[in-house]
Structure formats: C-alpha cells, structure tokens
Amino acid sequence: MIPTRESFLNWAMIAALLIVPLAAWSLDEPFIITLATKAAILALAGVGLNIALGLGGLISLGHAAFFGIGGYAMGILAAHAQNYEPLFEWPFLFEGSNQMPLIWLVAIVCSACAALVIGALSLRTSGVYFIMITLAFGQMLYYFAISWSAYGGEDGLSIWVRNDFPGLNTLDPIQFFAIAYVILCLALFFAARLARAPFGLALAAARQNADRVEAVGLTPFTLRLTAFVISGAITGLAGALFADLNRFVSPTMLSWHTSGEIMIFVILGGVGRLYGPVVGAALYILLEHLLGGISDYWQIFLGVLLLLIVLFARGGLIGALAGREKAHG
Amino acid sequence: MKTIRMLAMAAAIPALAAAAQADTKIGMITTLSGGGAGLGVDVRDGFMLAIEQDGRAGVEVVIEDDQRKPDAAVQIADRMIQSEKVDILTGIIWSNLAMAVVPAATAQDVFYLSPNAGPSALAGKRCHKNYFNVAWQNDNLHEAAGAYANEAGLTNSFILAPNYPAGKDALTGYKRMYGGDLAGEIYTKLGQTDYAAEIAQIRASGADSVYFFLPGGMGISFLKQYAGSGVDLPVVGPAFSFDQGILQAVGEAALGVKNTSQWNKDIDNPANAAFVAAFQDKYDRLPSLYASQGYDTANLILSALDKAEVSDQDAFRAALKAAEFASVRGDFKFGPNHHPVQDIYVREVIKEGDVFTNKIIATGLSDHADAYAGACKM
Amino acid sequence: MTYILVLEQILNGLQLGVMLFLMAAGLTLVFGVMGLINLAHGALYMVGAFAAAAVAGWTGSFLLALMASLAAAAAAGALMELVVIRRLYRRDHLDQVLATFALILIFSEGTRWLFGSFPLFLDVPSYLSGPVSLPGGIEYPLYRLTIILIGLAIAVGLFLLIARTRIGIQIRAGEADREMIAALGVDISRLYTLVFALGAALAGLAGALVGAIQSVQVGMGEPVLILAFVVIVIGGIGSIKGALAGALLVGMTDTLGGVFLPRLFTLFMEPASAASAGASLASMLIYILMAAILLVRPSGLYGGST
C-alpha cells in the first residue's frame, strides 16, 4: 500500500496517543495519563459509532444507550461482587464479578442485544426519523435509569476500587491506560478489516445505492442491522471501560448529551475515516482541558471553535489535513 | 523506562522542597458553569471570603469547575490528588457527584469536607474517618419540616418531590417525623417545569397543607404556578427553594411560605453578623445558605490548622472533629459519623424593602443528628 | 377522581400542547423549507424569555416584555441565519447537528455571562393572575387560559399566513421544490432569513409566555427542544398541521400519563412504590408514543417522504 498523507497522519496520531502518556509517566504526571486514557476510551466509543455512521450511513443519536448499558454492566456486576450480595441464585449462584474480561463480555453481549432490538425497530425508518427514533430509545433508557433506585437512580453507582485484570495492577494509571490503548488498537484493526471485508463493501454499497445491493440478492436491512449491532457492542465495551476509569456509573452516561458528544468526536475527526474518532476525541479532550483554565465561560470558546471547524474544515480535521478523498481506505 | 523515571524523580526533588513551603493545599471542585452554577458560585465566594479574612500564608486553594458532571468531577479529583497533591478536598454541591468522588478520595488519604451534599450512604454504611460533612445530612431539613408540621397542627399533608434518590430521601425524611395522614404522595419528573397537573391533584385531594422538595428551577416554577392557581393551602419546603439566590426569581409567590434551614442571616451571633456584613460588602449581594456553608467549611479547616498540620493526619482529624470555630449558625458540633448535630430552624419568607428574604420564626428540631449514624462503623 | 379533575388535566394538556406548538412550528418550517435541523432552536426560546424578563424588569409592563421577546428572538434568529445557518443549507445533517450544537454552547454561556448564573424574575401581570371559574365549576388559572387562547390564535394565524398570503405560497413552494422557486425569481436568501426569523420569534414568544410561570434560567430551552423534536417527528417533519397534531398529542400524553399512570399502578401496588413506578413509566411515555407511531408510520402522521 502506498503511504498517503492520511495513513501517515493516522500513524502519527496513534503514536502520539502512546507517547504522550509514556512521557507523562516518566515525568510523574499521572493526570495526563488519565486524560489520555479517557481519550482512548472515548475514541473507542467513536470507533463503534463510526461503523454505523461512517460505513453504514446510519445517523444514530442514541448511542449513549449502548455506552450506558456497558457502564451499568460494569457497575452492577462489580457492586454485587463488592457487597457480597449475589446477583442471582438461580439457575446457578452468581455473585457478580470484579474481573474485567468477564465484565467486558457481559457489556458486549448486553449492548449487542439492546442494539439488536433498538436497531430492528429503528431501521424501519430512515433519515431524520432515524435520528429521532434512536434519540427516543436513548431517552427511554435514561429516564429508566434515573428512577431505577435499586442501582442508585440518578445518584449513580460508585465502585470503591477499579476491577481486576489478570496480571496487572489496574489502579496504576499507566497500566490501565495500556489496557484501554490495546483494546482501541484491536478495535481499529477490526474496523479496518471489516470495512474491506465483503460485508463492509456490501454495507458501504447499501449506503450509496440500496436498490443496487438488493438487485444482487442482499438485503440492506440485514446488512444495516448487523452493522448497528456491531457498532452498539463496541460502544458498550467502551462504556464498561469508561465506568471503570471513573470507578463510577450514572445516568449521565445515557443522556442525549453523551450521544451528541460521541457523535462530535466522529464528526470532528472526519466521518467514515477510520482514525477520525481518535483525532476527534483527543482534540475534544485537549480543548476541554486547555479552555477550562481560561475562564468560567470557556464553553463559549469551545462553541466558537467547533463552529469554525464545521464551517471551514469540511470532512473533519483529517479531511482538512489530508484532503477530501480516501474515506475508509 | 525505569531509569527515565528515576531520573525524573531525582529532578523532582528540588521542586518538592519548594512546594513544602505552601504547606496546606485545598482543592475545591464545584459547579461554576451551566444551570446549577449559582450554588457553586455561592459556596466558592463564602469559602474564599473566610480564607481572605484569615489571610494567613501557606494556605493555597485550587478551584475547578465540575460542570455538574460526575465524570468530570472524578477526573478533577484524580488530578488534584495525584498531580497537585492536595491535602483537603471540598466544594461539591450535588449528592451524585459526591458519591462519585468522596469514597475514592478518602481511600487515598485525602480529607473531604462537604459544604453541601450529604447523601445517606456517606452518613451510614460508607462513612469514613476522613469525611466530614459541614452542611447537613440530606434528610435533615425535611425531618425538621415534618416536625414543624406536627407542631403547627397539620394533619393531612400532600407531599411531592422529583423521582430520583434525593427526592425519595426527602419524602422519607419528612414522613419520619410527620405524624399526620397523607392526602397524596407524588413523584414528578426530574427537571419538570410545569406543575399544573400536580396542582390540580392537590386541589382535588382535600389536603390541609403541601410539602414539596423541588430544588433549583423546579421549585421556582412550582411556586409561581401554585400562587396563580388559587389553591391557598399553606406550603412548607426545605430552604433550597427559598434561598437568597433564587428567592428574587420567585418573587411575591413565595411570601409567607415556611421553610426549614440550619442557617439564616438573622441568627444572632457576632460571627454571623460579621459574615453577613463582610459578604455584602465584598460581593454586593446578600449571602445565601450555600455561602454560609462555604464560609463555615473554610473556618473549620482554618481552626483545625491552628492546632495541627495536615500531614499529621490523626491530630488534624481530631482538630476537625473538635470543631472549635465560630460557626455562623451558632453552636456547631459533629456526631460520631462526622455529620453535624445542630438546630434546624423554621423560617418565613418576608420582604425587606425591595428584597425578598427570610426570618426565623421557630426552631424545628434542636440538637438534631441524623438517622444513619447508627449504621456507621468508623 | 372527579370529572372536574379530568377536565382540568385536559386543559393542562392543551396548554402544554399549544406551547409546544409555538416551538415546533418554527422548527418544522425551517426543516421543511430549508432542510435544516436546528438544535439551537431552544436557545431562541431562552433568548425570548431573558429579553422579556429584562424588559419587564425595566418597564414593569408585561405587554412590552412580550414584544421585546418577539423582537429579540427574531433579531437573534436573523443574525444566526445570516452569520452561520445559511452556510449549512447544502451540508448534510451531521454538519448541521454539530454546528447548531456549537451555537447552543455559545448562546447558553453567553447569556450566563450577560445575566449571571441566577434565575431571573418574570411574573404574570396582576390582571392575568389568579383563577377564573369556568362553566362546570372548574377553577382554572386565568394566565394559563390566556396562553391557550394566544397559542390557538397564533396557530390559526399561521395557517392563514401559509394558505393565503404571498409569502405562504413561497414557503409552500419552497417545501415542494427548492430549486424551482429560485428559478422563478423569488429572492431565496431573503425568504430563508424571513422564515428563520419567524420561527425564532415564535420560539421567543413561547419562552416569554412560559417564563412567567416557570423559571427564566440558562439551559431552559433544552428540555423543550427535545420535546419539540418529538412533536415534529410524530407529526411528520415539515408539516405545520402535523406539528399542531403532534404538539397536542404530546401535551395530552405527557400531562395525563403523569397523573393517571401512578393511580393505575396503585391498583396492584402499595402507594409509595406505585407513585414511583408510575412516575418512571410516565416520564418514558412520550418516547414510547413516538417510537410506536414511527413503527406504524415511519414518516410521522402527516409526513411525506424526506
């Protein structure tokens, strides 16, 4: 493959996301590591959304639902394990868990199931209606979580210590970062393979011309639903990691602001660009961090910057830097 | 990589020595932007007023905005503890943010002093030796309202609160002390702004009084609509909806309403008189409940610093526990779970010139602790 | 449960409905004519309320305050359109979502910077306060009744504007075929600014009217914005008739659901948990309604194709 400007940018980005926390670690600046971890996890959520949004053309404003489900999967399993109150006793005794791999599996399965149901219903609509119906499902879960007092309702659930990963000390910021970073890289690799696989090509074709896809004997609905489920599952995994980063989960993770933010990461970086969410999430967190120090009214500056980027950097940041072609190469 | 780290540590030692001169570092995480910013601004202003009046060298306060987001608060706390090495954290307004931050902070050997939120878990099962609440346990003001209702001879209350944990705690707190019947019990949507439907139910219920807990804009909306509805049953609420900051936005609709509070600007003691005057002088507005809590929190810290260094954790904790400072509420002491044992007053909304404010008319509960202290094993 | 309570709740649902209609009308017009998703519509609602509160504070006149809300929101809308929005018409929905989200941030924090963090005071004028007795023995707040009448009057006015006037013809033509009306020599950019300002003014008026009985504070537009989106999606995007139907449906569902669901639950639960469970379901109800309608009619009640 001939290295293009975009692929150079991609490598630079993913390297920077590794080098910055390592440098911070050697300088004993643990908070920068935490910021980088947050960027990696939110980028992972964006990679998930990008499969539906960029590849499938499905503008979902309800991905907070999957993000939150992943978070609650972590919160509920860990809370039961900590308080020694079994989650259920039938058909077998299950006491919850504080093992990350098991938590991740549960988060992926739960969010995939939710995505299957929400997707199957929502994909009957299209365009703006699809945006709004996914938003509606997200809001339903949000209000449900607020009043679900068994798990803290609006107060959320807080976990005393981070969950365990075999062989690592997850409370050490750099080790937890390593976990998030490796998962992000795996997800990026998976997303790249998916885009080039027959499934990805068919999905992209369905986005551009659904009739033609149907003519060759594929059903766009099934393709899109599959993409939506994969997308939801990855975002759910990110949710579980995000909850572990904060050792806390609350309905805020399910609110439409969260859906909007995940979407902003994708758009900022460039829709359909494999590494778009990485760039977008890193930039957003950097802005939030830098502008927060300027004044109480820093969100004005954030707004102006976002506006300028939309108006003048079309195709997101990667688009502006690398040119318009070669989406999902 | 190990060697790099060692080198960096070596380079950091002079920096540490320099830092040792600022011996106490206080981190304040509070809400300074978005909808709930008014409360955070008041806590900050009250707190900083006390710090400036004291004026001693060697106390540094770092202030950060949590945007009322739990995840932002957690990350700021992590940064303050890990990078800026603060000794004391304070400032959080909302219970859900406190639940996210406090357990992890106290587990990392940092002191946390709450100037506003007092969720029941932190008063009971999850209490911690390094956690002190300088305001109230969440149920306190509601319990006082229940006690006041008995005293005022109310026997058929209609009660309402938003459908979230603090709302349920509020109604539980009211019912714990209240001895009469309930004409109705409603949970409204969190953030709801239109209460026409609830007011119609109140009208139809045959109640003799209304108790509501609707913090922030929700309370403003409810009171204005209630005043316009022609229902004229007496209303009782906790101080949050009748605070100096929002009272002006409620206006006439609040006049005469009874509300419960552990502080008011007319509490007669020298510390309070000085506080009210200094606050007005500096910020050009009347202090609120939240400002008084911020002010007390800062003075408590300063009083403990007079006796012990923060680095000597046991001595500093004992000094905090003793609470020997001139509280603007008058007498102030901590119970076994580090929550206040205090008088809670009943206030009435009045108009002084053009300004709406409160005056104390009775004492709701004297030397009141909280219902969760028994569950706290410290 | 008396029939008076039921009637009163129906009036409440109607009042919420007409307010939502004022918000939704602008949103749906802008979408129908310009194809734009405007998340910042709630900011205009807030601008209206703040302008009204400020003018009422200076002059003491509620009528002047209402006019100020119309003027300020229309001006803010026109400015927004001229500076930002008109660059977005040819963009896809994603760019529009991001740009108008940025506008929300700018307007919200800008307002907080101008007016401070505390809620502002705006009250019902004395001649509209207090209850009136309606036939059937219902005591109903006069102000809410006024809101219902103003809302219905504006709805009628809007239908006449669109059905009878030259500008209405242009709007309808714009919805049907955007390229065509430009080709017919209509000054399209002026039409767009006008439609946008009109929608903004209606949102501002709604903000001022509602601000008098709720609290005038930063961020007040967002919950309403979400509801307004639900309304126009249920009604079919671009359709004024749909916006009216959707607004009334959402107003009624939200109000009546909140009142009667908890009561329904007391039939088989103890009161405290019934109140809580009923309230939970009630807060999800309009979203369930919207999902159900879209499943049966994927482009809303009166929607064509988008």
Residues B225 and B86 in one domain: no
The pLDDT value recorded for residue C304 is 67
Asked if pLDDT for residue B22 goes beyond 80, the answer is no
Q: How does pLDDT run across B28-48, given as a tens digit for each residue? A: 999 987 667 888 999 999 999
Cβ contact, residue pair B246, C119, below 8 Å? yes
Chain A positions touching C106 (Cβ under 8 A) are 299-300, 303-304, 307
| Residue B277 shares a structural domain with residue B211 | no
CB B362 within 8 A of CB B346: yes
Q: Compute chain B's Rg from CA coordinates.
A: 21
Q: Choose from A263, A300, A314, A317 for mutation: most chain C CBs within 10 A.
A: A300
Q: Please indicate, yes or no, whether residues B329 and B360 belong to a single structural domain of this protein.
A: no
State how far the Cα of C306 lies from the Cα of C303, in Å rounded to an integer.
8
Claim to verify: residue B130 and residue B158 sit in the same structural domain: no
**Is A191 a residue whose pLDDT tops 60?**
yes
B256 in contact with C at a CB cutoff of 8 Å?
no
What per-residue confidence (pLDDT) applies to B16? Answer: 42
Q: Give the span between the Cα atoms of B178 and A293, in whole angstroms.
A: 48
Q: What is the pLDDT of residue B175?
A: 95
Q: What is the CATH number of the domain that holds B55?
A: 3.40.50.2300
Contacts of C143 in chain B (CB under 8 A): 228
Average pLDDT over residues C154-174: 87
Nearest CA in chain C to B205: C1
User: Is residue C294 predicted with pLDDT exceeding 80?
Assistant: yes
Give A84 to chain B, closest Cα distance, Å.
Answer: 14
Position B11 confidence tier, pLDDT thresholds 50, 70, 90 = very low
My answer on whether B172 and B63 are in the same domain is no
**Phi, psi (rounded to 5 degrees) for A294:** -75, -55
Q: State residue C80's pLDDT score.
A: 94
Q: Is CATH 1.10.3470 the classification given to domain A5-18+30-322?
A: yes
State the first-to-last Cα distance of chain B, in angstroms, to the nearest integer.
41
What distance in Å separates the CA atoms of residue A111 and residue C211, rounded to the nearest whole number?
Answer: 40
In which band, very low, low, confident or very high, does the pLDDT at A324 lie, cut at 50, 70 and 90? low
Over 60: is that where the pLDDT of A1 sits? no
List the subunits that have 3+ CB pairs under 8 angstroms with C.
Answer: A, B
Chain A residues lying within 8 Å of C237, measured CB to CB: 128-129
Q: Residues 6 or more apart from C122 whose CB is under 8 A from it?
A: C49, C52, C53, C56, C65, C208, C211, C212, C216
In the predicted structure, residue A175 carries a pLDDT above the cut 90: yes
Mean pLDDT of B299-313: 94
User: B-chain residues within 8 Å CB-CB of C15?
Assistant: 196
In a domain, B317, yes or no: yes
Q: Which residues contact B136 (CB under 8 A, 6 or more apart)?
A: B118, B262, B339, B340, B342, B344
Please report residues of B whose CB lies closer than 8 A to that of C214. 193-194, 217, 220-221, 224-225
Cβ–Cβ below 8 Å for B74 and A248: yes
From CA C306, how far away is CA C175, in angstroms rounded? Answer: 11
- Looking at A102-116, B31-45, C70-84, C285-299, which range is the least confident one? B31-45
Do both B7 and B128 map to the same domain?
Answer: yes
How does pLDDT run across B134-158, given as a tens digit for each residue?
Answer: 999 999 999 999 999 999 999 999 9
Contact C290 A133 (CB under 8 A): yes
Please report the pLDDT score of residue B364 as a whole number.
92
Report, as an integer, the average pLDDT of B275-301: 95
Select from C88, C94, C106 the Cβ nearest to the Cβ of A271.
Answer: C94
Same domain, B289 and B216: no
B154 to chain A nearest CA, in Å? 30
Closest by alpha carbon to A65, among A12, A18, A20, A119?
Answer: A119
Distances (CA, A) of C153 to A279, C18, C157, C187, C227: 50, 10, 6, 29, 22
Q: pLDDT tens, A311-321?
A: 887 777 787 77
Angle between helices A173-196 and A30-50 in degrees, nearest 10: 20
Chain A partners (3+ C-beta pairs within 8 A): B, C
DSSP string, B48-63: HHHHHHH--TTEEEEE
Predicted complex ipTM? 0.83
Q: Kindly identify which residue of chain B lies nearest to residue A35, measuring between CA atoms.
A: B75
Q: Which of A35, A155, A160 sits opposite B96 (nearest CB)?
A: A155
* A252 contact B CB<8A: yes
pLDDT of the residue at A3: 57
Cβ of B217 within 8 Å of Cβ of C280? The answer is: no
Question: Mean pLDDT score of chain B, rounded to an integer?
Answer: 88
- Alpha carbons within 13 A on the beta-carbon side of A63: 36
A147, A156, A173 member nearest B100 (Cβ): A156
Q: At what angle do helices C271-296 and A127-146 cross, to 10 degrees?
A: 170
pTM of the model: 0.83
Confidence at residue B238, expressed as pLDDT on a 0 to 100 scale: 94
Average pLDDT over residues B348-375: 92
Q: Which member of A53, A147, A302 has the closest CB to residue C276?
A: A147
In this structure, the answer to whether residues B207 and B348 fall within a common structural domain is yes
The model's pLDDT over C59-94, given as tens digits with 9 standing for 90+, comes to 999 999 999 999 999 999 999 999 999 899 888 888
Interface test with B, best of C3, C20, C104, C118 (most B CBs within 10 A): C118
| C-alpha dist (Å) from residue A214 to A198, A207, C224, C233, C294 | 15, 12, 40, 28, 24
Any idea how long chain C is? 306
Q: Are residues B209 and B172 in the same domain?
A: yes
Q: What is the CA radius of gyration of chain A?
A: 20
Hey, are the CB atoms on A26 and B1 less than 8 Å from each other? yes
- Arithmetic mean of pLDDT over chain A: 88
**Residue A142 confidence (pLDDT):** 93
Tokens of A317: 């940041």
pLDDT tens for each residue of C13-48 = 999 999 999 999 999 988 888 888 899 999 999 999
In this complex, the residue of A126, A144, A306 whose CB is nearest that of residue C102 is: A306
% chain A with pLDDT above 70: 96
When pLDDT is averaged across residues A18-23 and rounded to a whole number, the result is 90
Residue A244 is predicted with a pLDDT of: 93
- Going from N- to C-terminal start, the domains of chain A cover 5-18+30-322
pLDDT at B312: 92
Angstrom distance (rounded) from CA B271 to CA B303? 14
**Residue B339: inside a domain:** no
| Segment B213-230 mean pLDDT | 87
For residues B86 and B26, the answer to whether their CB atoms sit within 8 Å is: yes
Peptide bond into A166 cis (omega under 30): no
Mean pLDDT, residues A45-64: 93
Cα of C161 to nearest chain B Cα, Å = 30
Comparing alpha-carbon positions, the chain C residue that sits nearest to B197 is C9
Tell me the mean pLDDT in the region C47-56.
95
Å between B57 CA and nearest CA of chain C: 32
Return the pLDDT at A158: 82
Higher pLDDT, A172 or B142: B142
Cα-Cα-Cα-Cα dihedral sign, residues B342, B347, B351, B355: positive
β-partners of residue B259 are B237, B347
Question: Residue A158: its chain B contacts at CB < 8 A?
Answer: 99-100, 103-104
Strands B333-334, B340-352: parallel, antiparallel or unpaired by DSSP?
Answer: antiparallel
Q: Residue C173 and residue C294: Cα distance in Å, rounded? A: 26
Residue C11 has pLDDT above 70, yes or no: yes
Together in a domain, B299 and B252: no
B118 and B42, same domain (yes or no) = yes
For residue C180, pLDDT over 70 is answered with yes
pLDDT over threshold 70, residue B5:
no
pLDDT at position B320: 96
Asked whether residue B1 carries a pLDDT value surpassing 70, the answer given is no
pLDDT at residue number B35: 65
Q: How confident is the model at residue B6 (pLDDT cuts 50, 70, 90)?
A: very low
pLDDT at C133: 87
Of B83, B93, B102, B131, which to mutate for an interface test with A (greatest number of A Cβ within 10 Å)?
B83
How high does pLDDT run on average in chain C? 88
- Whether the predicted pLDDT of C2 surpasses 90: no
Q: What domain range is B295 assigned to?
A: 3-136+267-334
Lowest mean pLDDT among A205-209, B41-45, C136-140, C201-205: C136-140
Number of domains in chain B: 2
Q: Which of A59, A122, A125, A317 to mutate to test the interface with C (most CBs of C within 10 A)?
A: A125
What average pLDDT does this structure show over C288-293?
90
Question: Is the separation of the CB atoms in B324 and B105 below 8 Å?
Answer: no
C216 and C53 in contact (C-beta within 8 Å)?
Answer: yes
Judged against a pLDDT cut of 60, whether residue A157 lies above it is answered with yes
Lowest mean pLDDT among A41-50, A158-167, C10-19, C199-208: A158-167
Question: How far apart (Å, rounded) are the C-alpha atoms in residues C191 and C173?
Answer: 11
- Chain C: give the shortest CA distance to residue A314, in Å: 9
Residues B321, B370: one domain?
Answer: no
Query: Which of residues 201 through 240 in chain B touch C, CB cutoff 8 A?
Result: 201, 203-204, 216-218, 220-221, 224-225, 227-230
Give the minimum alpha-carbon distance from C131 to chain A in angstroms, rounded to a whole number: 33
Among B261, B289, B273, residue whose Cα is nearest residue B46: B289
